[in-house]
Amino acid sequence: MSSGEIILILFVYLLLFGAKGVPALAQTLGKAVYQFRNASRDVQNEIMKSANDLRKQADIRPDQLDIADTSPKQPVVQNPPAQEPEKLDPETQS
């Protein structure tokens, strides 16, 4: 909602309920915002609690988590030293 829409709604409310209804509206809005914040905080706490429980079950310490690098580690393969080609013995060639 844009600010113009909000002002229009407040103006219509003021026309319908008068100046005496504005404090009641503000109180109702304040309670609604308070309850919404509490509910969102409860959801966040529950998610964090579940995540901590899963870490404990998996026995993972927070310092073991590497979220940035999720690619599997591959061993480093070094090239073997260069070998000289075997010289063929003319007697063994057939």
Closest CA to 11 of 2, 22, 1: 22
pLDDT per residue as tens digits for the range 50-81: 988 888 888 766 666 656 555 555 655 566 66
Give the start-to-end residue ranges of the domains of the chain. Answer: 19-63
Q: What percentage of the chain exceeds 70 in pLDDT?
A: 63
What is the Cα–Cα distance from 11 to 7, expressed in whole angstroms? 6
Collapse the DSSP code of 59 into the 3-class scheme (helix H, G, I; strand E, B; otherwise coil) and give the result: coil
Task: Tell me the HSE value of 91 on the side-chain side, using a 13 A CA sphere.
Answer: 0
Listed ranges 12-16, 34-38, 81-85; the one with the highest mean pLDDT: 34-38
Is this prediction's pTM over 0.75? no
Least confident of 26-35, 42-51, 59-68: 59-68
Q: Quick one: pLDDT at residue 81?
A: 61
